[in-house]
Structure 1
Amino acid sequence: MFKKILIANRGEIACRVIKTARRLGIPTVAVYSDADRNALHVTMADEAVHIGPAPSAQSYIVIDRILDAIRKTGADAVHPGYGFLSENAAFAEALEKEGVAFIGPPVGAIRAMGDKITSKKLAAEAGVNTVPGHMGLIEDADEAVTIASRIGYPVMIKASAGGGGKGMRIAWNDAEAREGFQSSRNEAKSSFGDDRIFIEKFVTQPRHIEIQVLGDKHGNTLYLGERECSIQRRNQKVIEEAPSPFLDVATRKAMGEQAVALARAVGYHSAGTVEFIVDGNRNFYFLEMNTRLQVEHPVTELITGIDLVEQMIRVAAGEKLAFGQDEVKLDGWAIESRLYAEDPYRNFLPSIGRLTRYRPPAEGKAADGTVVRNDTGVYEGGEISMYYDPMVAKLCAWAPGEGAEARLAAVDAMARALDGFEVEGVGHNLPFLAAVMQQPRFREGRLTTAYIAEEFPDGFNGVEPDGEAARVLAAVAASVNQVMQARAVQISGTIGNHRRVLGKDWVVRFGETELALTLETGVEGASVRFADGTVLPVAGSFVPGSTHASFTIAGETVGMKVDLVGPAIRLRWRGMDVKAHVRSGRVAALARLMPKKQPPDTSKMLLCPMPGVITSVSVKAGDTVEAGQALAVVEAMKMENILRAEKRAVVRRVAVEPGASLAVDELIMEFE
């Protein structure tokens, strides 16, 4: 076994590898950039080496800097995690020359499968189903348009060396093919140092399902079931699960055997993933092979009981797999939610800043047999940087059993865990993730890669409380108000011989919803009666100053985020975010007469939608622009975002120049 492992990565995955290495008794070395000097993976490792400035192109993907760290620490093995150098054949070769083990596949497999064009040719030769497309490299936008027209729209434009949703665009016509080619090429060069592009047919109504493979250096190769990864935004996964609610036993076996055939064809060892696109008739087509550990590997670990990082380490050390295909059993159902520092209310645009509050739910096994796991690389007080992927954590939930019943149990366990997750200081997608868990379509398993676009065509604007949810929120607001009122009475004491008496009748208002209720308190909690006769027993753990509390409402326990915002009580639960005002009847009547504050008019301004760098400005003062015309490009978290005109207008002035770093809502240009 190895004496010391260096992790050539950062954040969550570096922490994940350190945990397994520690369990195996192997010391670890972390590497870090200027931006990560105080990162969690640095404090967790036994040693840490500084490797350069914040941009990954000057630190994490500079091979010589990693080699220097290896020499300084005497590490005899390197785990690359995912991203960065994990699928870089030159890096694996450099390690081999140094006499250092690469905890990953052989160089030949990385080179063959890391190039999407080559991999598709090899897959076809190995008898794996492939998507129709143009496998040659594309020189320019004109050729991209010609090829796309020949294949037939829609098409997917992809970076040959890409991954993680970067360098990918869907084009539905010539104009989008031309523009998508250039954007994909720019992103590919920025993220991977390789701007080669290819095009393939985009399968409509597709599911994204992948097979986990594992092989050793002794010729043993097997598959560990599948993962459903269909819920995506900007071609990057958001929610994954294992197994897939769509596959049957026969399709799972066929996909698994094809994945193993491809792995054997390239002499693969270590953990890897073969990704497929699956249509509504369970026809499946090879997309690509990721010659590394996948972000979503925890769901496979939860349903198989196999630690994939441990297996990668053992395989790299020359050990044989200790089990065969017949011994791989799928047990229960697991779901992973990726918590990102991105604002779902702004089309999932990245957010940066300090985590002023970071309190994940408790990990481990619950009384009902479900399990919660949280893989993270951050801590309260740490920063989310603009230089790297905005992932904060991967929250997983597992439930025992099989079929639809086990899946729903896992979904409900995930919903409870999301309710208990507190994040403040940056924009984040917790409300979106919580909302998805309640959607009938998701709960029924009717998924496609267009799920987000179809279910949220106008973007995510939160969840509006319906009748039952509105009553729950009103009951909680009244209960919290009662605690605060009781505290006020204790502080104020008595006036003369009179002690202030708490009211029972209240009107709770949030948004356009207004509910009158009567709250009666008792030894075991409170009872809330609504005007329509509905009664909800309420017992809660809220105390003044707490930001999260559990409430038992009509026998069901729910976790809710609670904040006091001036006279209002802010409640966040299951994707709902309301500011509830609890008033007496008289005050509520007067409040209805108050005028509403109007938001400022920004209709003649283009504001920066996220923190980022302006890479180009396409117009100048005096230009007339048409609806849909590109105005500027903002780069954030290694992704290009094209800002377009919403309507025909004349540019009055441009306030920025390329290279400018902007904050959210900072002015880019004004219109007449």
Structure 2
Amino acid sequence: MNRLILSSLAGHKTTAGASAHQMVRYFHSSSPNFMFEKILVANRGEIACRVFRTCKKMGIKTVAIHSDADKYSKFVQEADEAVCVGPAPTSKSYLNIEAIIEAIKKTGAQAVHPGYGFLSENSHFVKELEKIGVTFIGPGSYAMHALGDKIESKKIAKAAGVSVIPGFIGEVESLDEVIRIANEIGYPVMVKASAGGGGKGMRIAWNDEDVKIGFRLSKQEAKSSFGDDRMLIEKYIDRGRHIEIQVLSDGDNALYFPERECSIQRRNQKVIEEAPSPFLDDETRNAMGRQAAALCRAVGYKSAGTVEFLVDMKKNFYFLEMNTRLQVEHPITEEITGQDLVEHMIRIAYGEKLKLQQQEVKIKGWAVESRVYAEDPYRNFLPSIGRIKKYIRPEGPGVRIDGGIQEGGEISTYYDPLISKLITYGETRKSAIIRMKKALDEYFIKGVNHNVPFLRDVMENEKFLSGDFSTSFIPEEYPEGFKGYHFTPKQIEQLAVCATVLRFMDQYKLLSNSTNQARDTPIETDEFFVIRVGNVRHLLRVEVKKDSFVIQLVDEASETIVKQYDMEIQEDTPEMLTLKIDGGVHRFQIHGRSTHAYTLQFHGTKTEVIVRTPEEDELYKYMPIKKSVDSSNALLSPMPGAILSLAVKEGDKVVLGQELCVIEAMKMQNVLRAPRDCEIKSIKVKAGTNVAVDEILIEFK
């Protein structure tokens, strides 16, 4: 029977006057009694939580699998049942097909949703499920193998009339062969794993030396992450845009959805996505969509999937690969179309036909997604591990968070350091970006380093705002790496006002505690504070009378008032101070506070603001200065991880840029190189050693 469903998208709160992008959806549905009764999600973290939401909306019981390390994780708590499938390493848990099959049998799950990564594109896993009569919520094993394999998919795409990127369509087996092919294609080239995705097993090579290193490291990453180290090579199109088309097919009816712009990447992994793209026009959009749908029909594809294209500056587009699974960034497509892609996947897997027609798939508004990672943007986005000590998520209309971490949760070296996906929706691109900036300012994370400062900075980048960017955005806009937000003189004044308010409030609380004076007892005072933000010094005066609270900027030389701030406190919590200063609302996160200093996060960037009375400031110059430790003669670990290999021994003489060792973190291989010409004095680690951030690995003479 046809069933009419009216609901807000998963992750939204229903409010009076629902937003325009919430829409009526039609599905062809059997009675709920004949739908799957129990689904196991063969994944972890945020994507497991995401699938559970739709299952619960449909009245379907859920099963989580987990490793020993994930026993107390959020996704395990959200499932109706949970089964441990092994120890922390992925090869012994989330990639352990035998253990997962046993979990399915134990719980009586009738279907398995794979999420993304892990076994989501493993045709062997699908065949094992078929043997025990359990439905895989995804394409069949043939379509998965044919389209999920980058080499085979290029052959099928070419035969189906899809524009393919120039390259060698076949497996590259040896280093000599990859060098020969690279020179035939012409540099730059992309060396990439045939299996998997997520930026792993991929390297750009600009010369023969790059190819040698990239081929070796990419094979190691691919073997570790996907259990498949087959490699291919293709032309790297410089300044291209990474644009993908979401598809949905029931084997007969193949639909394409509005594109997603995924060009802002680090280490070939997406960081910020949006839908639709600010670059495409309707003609190019529809041409890409038709080719994506044709590719689905060529193999009788059944499920959701994503066809990825590389688009050059003239809007010529080339097929890159097809992901035969749900994409990390699928929420932005859901936001602008009103469709629940997970629900569609479940219904197609059950055998239902799509009632949605191509003409019904329309763009409504704009959506932006920021991937919030536990990583240090100031150190080339290296992963950060640790426990989330404090975690406050933004809320409000047009804000959606798909996350798998909660306060007290741990980011470990075993898994991807994704904390959450922050999605904002607006009627226009500008309004979606404004909402994203506000949400990032409200996102409070303490305990690990994170990339919110970088994400916030991008939201004010002129090239990003204009839509004029490519996959080279990060290296072009941050050639020396991310250094943090550059505060304007006006913003430094705002930081000074915030710190002054905090100092005064803290001082008043201490006074209240010491005299047993009630907190709301009126006081009258007139005090001065010296504020230092970096190298900038301000003198501010706080005047409190019976019915007023005034802050003034004072010229120290003449002791005259330069400016008086129109200021109002709108929010005061231990983590956040929101002030209305001269008509503008500004949010300051409080990450550290002491008698004379506050660590504030403003516009995404943390900075220390010193607050002293004039007397304290005068005395401070007599305080001893702590000497910094000289680490110039040592190689420190830039991240927590495991040493995979050492390329030198004690006594070796090395030159600038020479490989010293390879460290693995979050399944990514990272080469550490000599910082200068020198001699190896001592080696403090060996292959297989687990190391912490800033641990000494090698000492130099």
TM-score normalised by structure 1 residue count = 0.95
Partner in structure 2 of residue 161 of structure 1? 195
Residue 507 of structure 1 deviates from its aligned partner by 2.3
Could you tell me how far apart the structure 1 residues matched to 2:480 and 2:624 are? 28
**1:140 and 2:140 correspond:** no
Q: Secondary structure at the match of 1:57?
A: helix
Could you tell me how far apart the structure 1 residues matched to 2:39 and 2:145 are? 23
**Residue identity matched to 1:438:** E
Output one character per residue of 1:256-297: Cα deviation in whole Å (capped at 9) or x when no partner.
111111111111121100001111111111110000000000
For residue 184 of structure 2, the aligned residue among 131, 143, 150 is 150
For residue 458 of structure 1, the aligned residue among 455, 471, 480 is 480
Partner in structure 2 of residue 403 of structure 1? none
Partner in structure 2 of residue 538 of structure 1? 567
Aligned residues: 656
Contact 1:5 1:75 in 2 (8 A): yes
**Residue identity matched to 1:391:** L
Q: Secondary structure at the match of 2:490?
A: helix
Residue 491 of structure 1 deviates from its aligned partner by 3.1
For residue 129 of structure 1, the aligned residue among 160, 163, 177 is 163
Partner in structure 1 of residue 442 of structure 2? 420
**1:108 and 2:142 correspond:** yes
**1:444 and 2:472 correspond:** no
Residue 422 of structure 1 deviates from its aligned partner by 1.0
Partner in structure 2 of residue 16 of structure 1? 50
**Residue identity matched to 1:669:** I
Residue 516 of structure 1 deviates from its aligned partner by 2.5
Partner in structure 1 of residue 121 of structure 2? 87
**Residue identity matched to 2:596:** P
**Residue identity matched to 2:191:** I
Could you tell me how far apart the structure 2 residues matched to 1:526 and 1:259 are? 62
Residue 592 of structure 1 deviates from its aligned partner by 6.0
Contact 1:229 1:241 in 2 (8 A): yes
Structure-to-structure mapping, 1:464-483, within 5 angstroms: 464-483=486-505
Partner in structure 1 of residue 270 of structure 2? 237
Over 3 Å counting, the alpha-carbon distance change for 1:502 and 1:618 in structure 2 is: farther
Partner in structure 2 of residue 663 of structure 1? 692
In structure 2, stretches of 5+ residues that fail to align are 1-34, 556-560
Partner in structure 2 of residue 368 of structure 1? none
**1:485 and 2:513 correspond:** no
Partner in structure 2 of residue 297 of structure 1? 330
Over 3 Å counting, the alpha-carbon distance change for 1:538 and 1:596 in structure 2 is: farther
Contact 1:489 1:500 in 2 (8 A): no
Output one character per residue of 1:179-228: Cα deviation in whole Å (capped at 9) or x when no partner.
110001111111111111111010011111100011114x1111110101
Could you tell me how far apart the structure 2 residues matched to 1:578 and 1:472 are? 13
Partner in structure 2 of residue 576 of structure 1? 605
In structure 1, stretches of 5+ residues that fail to align are 366-370, 401-405
Q: Secondary structure at the match of 2:649?
A: coil
Over 3 Å counting, the alpha-carbon distance change for 1:526 and 1:447 in structure 2 is: farther
Partner in structure 2 of residue 560 of structure 1? 588
Output one character per residue of 1:540-591: Cα deviation in whole Å (capped at 9) or x when no partner.
2565x70122222222223221131452011102132111112233443554
Q: Secondary structure at the match of 2:471?
A: coil
Partner in structure 2 of residue 329 of structure 1? 362
Moved more, 508-517 or 16-25: 508-517
**1:429 and 2:458 correspond:** no
Q: Secondary structure at the match of 1:427?
A: coil
Could you tell me how far apart the structure 2 residues matched to 1:540 and 1:177 are? 57
Output one character per residue of 1:148-194: Cα deviation in whole Å (capped at 9) or x when no partner.
11111111000011300000000111101111100011111111111
Moved more, 565-574 or 374-383: 565-574
Output one character per residue of 1:121-147: Cα deviation in whole Å (capped at 9) or x when no partner.
111111111111111211222221111
**1:177 and 2:199 correspond:** no
Structure-to-structure mapping, 1:59-70, within 5 angstroms: 59-70=93-104
Could you tell me how far apart the structure 2 residues matched to 1:202 and 1:127 are? 21
Partner in structure 1 of residue 674 of structure 2? 645
Could you tell me how far apart the structure 2 residues matched to 1:123 and 1:7 are? 30
Partner in structure 2 of residue 354 of structure 1? 387
Residue 667 of structure 1 deviates from its aligned partner by 1.0
Moved more, 527-536 or 232-241: 527-536
Moved more, 290-299 or 138-147: 138-147
Could you tell me how far apart the structure 2 residues matched to 1:418 and 1:326 are? 35
Output one character per residue of 1:295-326: Cα deviation in whole Å (capped at 9) or x when no partner.
00010111111011011011111112121110
Over 3 Å counting, the alpha-carbon distance change for 1:379 and 1:615 in structure 2 is: same
Over 3 Å counting, the alpha-carbon distance change for 1:257 and 1:592 in structure 2 is: farther
Could you tell me how far apart the structure 2 residues matched to 1:379 and 1:221 are? 38
Contact 1:476 1:538 in 2 (8 A): no
**1:397 and 2:408 correspond:** no
Could you tell me how far apart the structure 1 residues matched to 2:309 and 2:382 are? 27
Could you tell me how far apart the structure 1 residues matched to 2:121 and 2:107 are? 23
Partner in structure 2 of residue 261 of structure 1? 294
Could you tell me how far apart the structure 1 residues matched to 2:407 and 2:450 are? 14
For residue 509 of structure 1, the aligned residue among 526, 532, 541 is 532
**Residue identity matched to 2:578:** S
Percent of counterpart pairs with the same letter? 52
Over 3 Å counting, the alpha-carbon distance change for 1:191 and 1:231 in structure 2 is: same
